[in-house]
Amino acid sequence: MSVGSRDRAGESRLPQTMQASPAAFLRTMTPYRADSVVAVECIVTWYWLADLCARAGSPVGLGHARYMNASHGGQAKHAQLDAHKIAVLRRGGMLPPAYGYAAERRATRDLLRRRLSLTRKRAELRGHVPHTNSPYNLPESGTKLADQANRPGVAARCPDSAGQKSMAVDLARMGYAAQLLRDLA
């Protein structure tokens, strides 16, 4: 993990690479904690750092990763350069804000994200399975595959065993996704 800090005059105070652990971060930041705002790019690993700073009473600014890429510019990409640019963006008030979910709400958010992912995959399969009739010049089945009762025999309509197996796998995945979605609800 790279840490970069700027003083009020814009001079670099703390260019350092360290182990990404709470103890190492607190040890490094202790002399600067009184007048520091921690700014971090909002990627998967920001949770522990934001929670640690909240417990320590240090304000945290989360920068939206997608918009930070657009505002950074330049070809070079490494952690120390990113730390410097994040510090400059924060100091200038140009850190593109990201919403940091409170720790007690993250599990619900992650569950909703899983549900959304499963819903999209199930919808993709529901759209794909009827279109597998086309390569074999088969007529429409005339049934809605969203209803599990209409799925038996659909795979057997394919003339070759590979097509039947492919269709059977897709139908099984549709059923499994539907079961997972019911369990999530």
- How do the pLDDT tens digits run along the chain, 185 residues long? 777 766 667 677 666 777 888 888 888 877 776 777 777 777 766 788 888 888 888 887 778 777 776 555 555 565 666 766 777 777 777 777 878 778 888 889 889 989 999 999 988 888 877 777 777 777 777 777 667 776 777 777 788 888 888 888 888 888 888 899 988 88
38 neighbors 49 (Cβ within 8 angstroms) = yes
> What values do phi and psi take at 91, rounded to 5?
-65, -40
What span, in angstroms and rounded, lies between the C-alpha atoms of 126 and 23? 50
What span, in angstroms and rounded, lies between the C-alpha atoms of 167 and 124? 13
Domain ranges for the chain, please list them: 2-91, 105-184
30 neighbors 63 (Cβ within 8 angstroms) = no
